[in-house]
Amino acid sequence: MPQVTLTVNGTSHTVEVEGRTLLVELLRENLRLTGTHIGCDTSQCGACVVHVNGDSVKSCTMLALQADGAEVTTIEGLAKPDGTLHPMQEAFREYHALQCGFCTPGMVMSAIDLVQKHPQGLSEKEIREGLEGNLCRCTGYHNIVKAIAAAQEVMHGRRAELAPAAE
Amino acid sequence: MNVVTPFEGIGASVKRKEDLRFLSGRGQYTDDINRPRQTYAYILRSPHAHAAIRGIDLAAARAMPGVVAIFTGEDMKGIGGLPCGWQIHNKDGSPMAEPPHPVLAQGKVRHVGDSVAVVIAETKAQARDAAEAILVDYDVLPAAATMEAALATGAPQVHDGVAGNICYDWHIGDPAVNAAAFQSAHKVVEFELVNNRLIPNAMEPRAAVGDYDPTTGDYTLYTTSQNPHVIRLLMGAFVLQLPEHKLRVVAPDVGGGFGSKIFHYAEEAIVTWAAGKIARPVKWTADRTESFITDAHGRDHVTKARLALDANGKFLALHVQTLANMGAYLSTFATSVPTYLYATLLAGVYTTPTVYAEVKAVFTNTTPVDAYRGAGRPEATFLLERLVDVAAREMGMDRVEIRRRNFIPNDAFPYQTPVALQYDSGDYVATLEQALESSGWASFEQRRAEAKARGKLRGIGISTYLEACGIAPSAVVGALGARAGLYEVGTIRVHPTGSVTVLTGTHSHGQGHETTLAQLVTDRLGVPLAQVDIVHGDTAKIPFGMGTYGSRSLAVGGSAMVKAMDKIVAKARKIAAHLMEASVEDVEFDRGTFRVAGTDKTKSWGEICLTAYVPHNYPIEEIEPGLDETAFYDPKNFTYPGGCHICEVEIDPETGKVDVVNFTAVDDVGRVINPMIVEGQVQGGVAQGIGQALLETAVYDEAGQLLSASFMDYQMPRAEDLPPVSVATHTTLCTHNPLGVKGCGEVGAIGSPPAVINAVVDALQDYGVRHIEMPATPAKIWNIINAGHKLAAE
């Protein structure tokens, strides 16, 4: 079987995979990084979004072999080693932007990329448009949108700390 | 009520305890579980809606790499079928038709997705490859893909021996009284509508891992379930004939359910049974299209209704005739949904003196239909709230005024409806007034005019609804045909140093029980939230339980916890009395402190807990050591949340697209434990209701193929499709449970669809539209707007 060498969350791995193995399968089955989820077969739901070389990618739509030499970040790699959460993770908790948690890893990874690519800041409407590739069945997106709006302020250095959710 | 610092008790919007796990990728969902020597199952499914199986050739598949075993219906012949949990009786008193529901097809397939064979291999890919090499000789039969087709003369028979494809022909109410009331009516409004078929689509596809230890004979099933004890009971007793002590069912983190993960599914039995056969773990995970064709669907009613009114717009009588699609087999609770969860709600929030409902349940060659968020109550609410709007228009009355005139007044509680239920509390005027105020109802016409100036059609719609949840008193449901009790179980395990583990029979799959239920303990025992853990979802850890559905977890499960905490406090007071040399009657407990009334003699919670487990100075003759109590709580009645939803839409006449521009929900869910979580539950429910009203529908072709079997074809609500949803609560307490709670999980999906459609119809008022079926798609609306001047190309 062919081999693929890639760096995931800062650790280099060399893995034997079938040609048809998807990146998400490599992450979940070979590396047992089960935080990245599979919610559909048609690249619609975004539960499997990870970062590949800094861009958000649906890992069910990329062959593992295509990730040869790539730097991959998954939800497990977001928090600092001391456990400090990424501002986006913190915002999702503060704004109750998750319920069952299944779409959450992909949603957080997509949201981070969305914010990073828009340093000028995103309006509510732009955030909603930016989430086009991610499905959530629990929240109605209301609190996800609020969390992303709050997180971008911290990520772009406009606020030192996350604005607390209104009681 | 106790107060702790910082305030974490009842009424506090504390952040969720479970979030850190989910946000760090450390959730443990069923597909994340991997057992040593695990194999993978792939289920070969019927591509036909109706066919006889003439033969199955496994030779080529068996020779494929990695194949461990292949089983077909022939191998599972001695295994019981999947049971139905609720027996309904026909009008004549005879029991419903209850055809067998085999785990693997026995000679015939009855819907696309019916399971035909299971291939078990070393890898998932090998199992799938081998399944493709199985040759099934199908004799394709004509299919009854819709209720209309199934009820037609000479229709294909879904099951031999079920004449006319009728599962049951049931009714509730007094037909003679009802008919007489129509005689005296000033006006009768007749109305027909469809409640569109939906696919629940929890984001986590169903999965199951079966494990077996041949040295002990112990089976373990990990499954995506809302109620692991119910699965153990159904699968153990009815399907595989395994005693409970040899069968452990674990429902770990579950990624959404919305009802679809209540039911006992074939795959759970298949992986458990197969693990025993091959003495290795077997894992199965659905792909999304498999979920579409095998997860139980929801709704799918066709209804005719007549409402009788007097000259003042008072409702005199309601007569409802509904056809309810069961699909090809009876899913676990399918039969109860269009009967006791639907027709009993047809009084709604109104004083209609007589209601008569007739329900025919119909078999079709489609995926089974069962409870989906709201289950029966959204169907009742949609019918009532559309009908009331139509009646108002045809009576020339204001939509709000006709509702006010018919509301059950506050002094009428407890209120006995003509369809069996007795409502304990509510304040329908209050939720209405609050919603009218915050939605800006009174100033709407200005916004309509302003929109018109921009070339847009703006409309506003209202729904005043009620539902019955907190399911349910065992004796009542038993008398109505339920084959289960619907109590709940809670164990409060106080540890020697005073921290608490709660074992609950309810299950959290997004609801936030690990937080809300812990708040109950913090509030009552004064133990900080960080020192309270909630354990659920494992039959080996939790004494018993009936699981989570019907917005029952707090009302029933929380009440069981309160009962268990009462026992804890009673015992702890005895220990405290002993230590302080006082009589038990004089010992008060508050905020984690035991005090001899009127004195400064106190003992802390921690001292009492330690004494219970280190009983050196202890009334050992009177009470046992330890502080660990279990309670079973059986509710006295259903709970009755209600409220008012107001939706404002804007339609672009060029495209027919509806934008929901404002949505206001004011709900009475009883006492609110965590306002943040309640708000999230309502927002999520409203999102599913807007999805039903504008976007979602399951579409079958005439041959019984599900055309909407992927996220490319079934329109799930996305962030852009939904508005910000304004949520508020107005509380009247439930009078019959110790917490005063009613339930909030389903209200959003129940109250919202008619508010949306009423708004769409209102926006189209200049086009003579009486009704528009859900989903109100751009195509339907464009056609209404453009009727009479069709495009030349057509």
Model confidence pLDDT, tens digit, residues B373-397: 999 999 999 999 999 999 999 999 9
Q: Are B540 and B584 contacting, i.e. CB atoms less than 8 angstroms apart?
A: no
Nearest CA of chain A to the CA of B26: how many Å?
Answer: 6
Architecture of domain A3-77: Roll (3.10)
* Confidence label for B488 from pLDDT (cuts 50, 70 and 90): very high
Question: Angle at the Cα of B600 (from B597 to B604), degrees rounded to 5?
Answer: 85
* Confidence label for B5 from pLDDT (cuts 50, 70 and 90): low
Nearest CA of chain A to the CA of B252: how many Å?
Answer: 12
CA Rg value for chain B: 28
Three-state SS letters, B261-313: CCCCCHHHHHHHHHHHHHCCCEEEECCHHHHHHHCCEECCEEEEEEEEECCCC
Q: Residue B791 pLDDT more than 60?
A: no
CA Rg value for chain A: 16
Strand locations in A9-124 (E): 11-16, 49-52, 55-58, 71-73
Residue A19 is given by DSSP the state T
Please list the alpha-helical segments (H only) found in B49-154.
59-62, 124-132, 147-151
Give me the CATH topology for the region A87-155.
Answer: DNA polymerase; domain 1 (1.10.150)
Question: Angle at the Cα of A104 (from A99 to A107), degrees rounded to 5?
Answer: 130
Please give the average per-residue pLDDT across B578-585, as a whole number. Answer: 97
The answer to whether the CB atoms of A34 and B25 lie below 8 A apart is: yes
Confidence at residue B794, expressed as pLDDT on a 0 to 100 scale: 39
On average, the pLDDT of chain B sits at 97
Q: Residue A23 pLDDT more than 80?
A: yes
C-beta neighbour count of B710 within 10 angstroms: 17
On average, the pLDDT of chain A sits at 97
Q: Are B709 and B292 contacting, i.e. CB atoms less than 8 angstroms apart?
A: yes
The answer to whether the CB atoms of A39 and B287 lie below 8 A apart is: no
Please list the alpha-helical segments (H only) found in B505-558.
513-525
Provide CB contacts within 8 A for B581, sequence distance 6+. none
Tell me which chain A residues have a C-beta less than 8 angstroms from the C-beta of B676. Answer: 96, 165
Q: Residue B1 pLDDT more than 90?
A: no
The answer to whether the CB atoms of A32 and B34 lie below 8 A apart is: yes
Q: Using a CB cutoff of 8 Å and minimum separation of 24, what contacts does B390-395 make?
A: B390/B189, B390/B191, B390/B770, B390/B771, B391/B187, B391/B189, B391/B307, B391/B309, B391/B313, B391/B315, B392/B313, B393/B770, B394/B187, B394/B189, B395/B187, B395/B309, B395/B313
Nearest CA of chain B to the CA of A30: how many Å?
Answer: 12
Residue B616 region by backbone torsions, left for phi larger than 0, else alpha for psi between -120 and 50, else beta? alpha
The answer to whether the CB atoms of B25 and A85 lie below 8 A apart is: no
What is the ipTM score, two decimals?
Answer: 0.98
Q: Which CATH class is domain B421-469+637-794?
A: alpha beta
Three-state secondary-structure class, residue B553:
helix
Q: Using one digit for the tens of pLDDT, what is the confidence trace for B113-166?
A: 999 999 999 999 999 999 999 999 999 999 999 999 999 999 999 999 999 999
Q: Which of B253, B288, B719 sits opposite A40 (nearest CB)?
A: B288
The answer to whether the CB atoms of A128 and B719 lie below 8 A apart is: yes
Distance CA B640, CA B636 (A): 13
* Confidence label for B591 from pLDDT (cuts 50, 70 and 90): confident
The answer to whether the CB atoms of B722 and A141 lie below 8 A apart is: yes
Distance CA A33, CA A41 (A): 19
CA atoms within 13 A of residue B752's CA, in its CB half-sphere: 33
Tell me which chain A residues have a C-beta less than 8 angstroms from the C-beta of B18. Answer: 101
Q: Which of B13, B23, B716 sits opposite A85 (nearest CB)?
A: B23
Nearest residue of B to residue A109, measured between CA atoms: B23
Nearest residue of A to residue B511, measured between CA atoms: A99
Q: Residue B543 pLDDT more than 80?
A: yes
Three-state secondary-structure class, residue B58:
coil
Distance CA B677, CA B512 (A): 7
Please give the average per-residue pLDDT across B484-493, as a whole number. Answer: 96
* Confidence label for B253 from pLDDT (cuts 50, 70 and 90): very high
B277, exposed or middle or buried, with CB in 10 Å at 0-12, 13-18, 19+?
A: middle
- Our measurement of the distance from residue B437's CA atom to the centroid of its chain's CA atoms, rounded to an integer in Å, reads 31
Distance CA B373, CA B299 (A): 10
Express as a percent the part of chain B with pLDDT over 90.
Answer: 98
Architecture of domain B145-198+297-407: 2-Layer Sandwich (3.30)
The answer to whether the CB atoms of B253 and A37 lie below 8 A apart is: no
Give me the CATH topology for the region B33-83+97-141+200-294.
Answer: Aldehyde Oxidoreductase; domain 3 (3.90.1170)
The answer to whether the CB atoms of B19 and A100 lie below 8 A apart is: no
Question: Angle at the Cα of A55 (from A52 to A61), degrees rounded to 5?
Answer: 60
The answer to whether the CB atoms of B202 and A137 lie below 8 A apart is: yes
Q: Residue B16 pLDDT more than 60?
A: yes
Nearest CA of chain B to the CA of A69: how many Å?
Answer: 24
The helix (H) or strand (E) run that includes residue A134 is none
Provide CB contacts within 8 A for B711, sequence distance 6+. A40, A42, A44, A45, A135, B201, B288
Measured between its terminal Cα atoms, the distance across chain A in Å is 55
- Our measurement of the distance from residue A101's CA atom to the centroid of its chain's CA atoms, rounded to an integer in Å, reads 12
Please give the average per-residue pLDDT across A33-45, as a whole number. Answer: 97
Report cis status (omega within 30 of 0) of the bond before B775. yes
Q: Does domain B19-26+487-633 have CATH number 3.30.365.10?
A: yes
Model pTM above 0.90: yes
The answer to whether the CB atoms of B683 and A142 lie below 8 A apart is: yes
Tell me which chain B residues have a C-beta less than 8 angstroms from the C-beta of A136. Answer: 203, 719
Q: Are B119 and B42 contacting, i.e. CB atoms less than 8 angstroms apart?
A: yes
Tell me which chain B residues have a C-beta less than 8 angstroms from the C-beta of A98. Answer: 19, 22-23
* Confidence label for A167 from pLDDT (cuts 50, 70 and 90): low
Compute the 3-state secondary structure of chain B and give helix, strand, coil in percent, each to the nearest 5.
30, 25, 45
The helix (H) or strand (E) run that includes residue B188 is strand B187-195
Report in angstroms the alpha-carbon separations of B384 from B15, B192, B302, B463. 38, 11, 14, 9
Q: Using one digit for the tens of pLDDT, what is the confidence trace for B298-357?
A: 999 999 999 999 999 999 999 999 999 999 999 999 999 999 999 999 999 999 999 999
Q: For chain B, where do the domains classified as CATH 3.90.1170.50 start and end?
A: 33-83+97-141+200-294
φ, ψ for residue B613, nearest 5 deg: -105, -15
Q: Which of A18, A20, A136 sits opposite B203 (nearest CB)?
A: A136
φ, ψ for residue B89, nearest 5 deg: -110, 145
Distance CA B548, CA B513 (A): 10
Strand locations in B382-456 (E): 415-416, 422-423
**Which residue carries 């929900």 as its tokens?**
B665
Q: Using a CB cutoff of 8 Å and minimum separation of 24, what contacts does B236-245 make?
A: B238/B80, B238/B81, B238/B82, B238/B83, B239/B79, B239/B80, B239/B81, B239/B82, B239/B83, B239/B103, B239/B264, B239/B269, B240/B79, B240/B80, B240/B269, B240/B272, B240/B273, B241/B80, B242/B272, B244/B539
Distance CA B342, CA B402 (A): 23
Confidence at residue B793, expressed as pLDDT on a 0 to 100 scale: 38
Residue type, A85: L
Please give the average per-residue pLDDT across B485-508, as a whole number. Answer: 97
Q: Which of B26, B204, B509 sits opposite A35 (nearest CB)?
A: B26
Three-state secondary-structure class, residue B356:
strand
Distance CA B516, CA A161 (A): 27
Q: For chain B, where do the domains classified as CATH 3.30.365.10 start and end?
A: 19-26+487-633, 145-198+297-407, 421-469+637-794
Strand locations in B12-133 (E): 39-45, 51-57, 67-72, 108-109, 115-121
Q: Using one digit for the tens of pLDDT, what is the confidence trace for B515-525?
A: 999 999 999 99
CA dihedral B377→B380→B385→B387, nearest 10 degrees, is 180
Confidence at residue A166, expressed as pLDDT on a 0 to 100 scale: 83
Measured between its terminal Cα atoms, the distance across chain B in Å is 68
Question: Angle at the Cα of B733 (from B727 to B736), degrees rounded to 5?
Answer: 135
Confidence at residue B6, expressed as pLDDT on a 0 to 100 scale: 74
Q: Which of B288, B676, B717 sits opposite A96 (nearest CB)?
A: B676
Report cis status (omega within 30 of 0) of the bond before B83. no
